[in-house]
Amino acid sequence: MIDRQFVTGFVLAGGESRRMGVDKGMLSHNGKPMIEHVIQALLPHAKPIFILANNDNFNHFGYPVFSDQIKNSGPISGICNGLSISNTEWNIFVSCDSPFITPELISFLITQSNGYEAVVPSYKGKTYPLTAIYKSSCLVVFKNLLEQKKLRVKDALPLLNVKTVELSDDLPFFHEKLLININTPEDYEKHKHYC
């Protein structure tokens, strides 16, 4: 299993939040910004932790903030940026609008990593590549896609040795909102009081 001291954690917070209208990571969920829930899920498993963002809103959380080298290119640019600054072989990425992510999920993904370049969770056939583990060697693939203006992170998965981990109700930490992203005002109103 990967040792915590050899894992870097990244919070993807560089989106423009067009659908939400405000910075998603700063929206309150159960009394604190969504990004804090993500950081707390990463803390037991990752050191150091970085925030990948393109504004100054996240500077006061106490973690280094890095902006995308290529702006307006979506999360694939953030992943490239993270992998390029990482000093560890293994890297955990989680989107800032995923407040239901738990340390137990991250621990489970880590246990699935041996022999693979990436570990990506899936639920009911839908993959979640923005809550995933990527080796630093994945940078070449992500960088090539970015240079070709192919900006969907899912486009990288067929080019990598990926373990897709299907989550199910029989996992002790599982709940149906575990991988939900809060992308719109409707999403926020629907899920903001769920613990």
Whole-model pTM? 0.91
- One digit per residue, the tens of pLDDT, for the chain of length 195 reads 566 568 999 999 976 555 444 677 788 878 888 999 999 999 999 999 999 998 888 898 999 999 988 888 889 999 999 999 999 999 999 999 999 999 999 999 999 999 999 999 999 999 999 999 999 999 999 999 999 999 999 999 999 999 999 999 999 999 888 998 887 767 667 666 665
What was the pLDDT predicted at 18?
A: 53
Question: What is the b/e burial string over 90-117, where b = at least 16 CB atoms within 10 angstroms of the residue's CB?
Answer: bbbbbbbbbbbbeeebbebbbebbeebb
What per-residue confidence (pLDDT) applies to 57?
A: 85
Residue 194: what pLDDT?
Answer: 60
Are the beta carbons of 52 and 10 closer than 8 angstroms?
Answer: yes
Q: Which domains are assigned to the chain?
A: 4-191 (3.90.550.10)
Instruction: Please tell me the predicted confidence (pLDDT) of residue 172.
Output: 92
How far is Cα 86 from Cα 139, in angstroms, rounded to an integer? Answer: 10
Per-residue DSSP letters for 109-125? HHHT-TT-SEEEEEETT
In this prediction, residue 189 carries a pLDDT of 75
Query: How far apart are the C-alpha atoms of 136 and 117, rounded to whole Å?
Result: 8
Distances (CA, A) of 152 to 130, 131, 142, 155, 182: 11, 14, 10, 6, 18
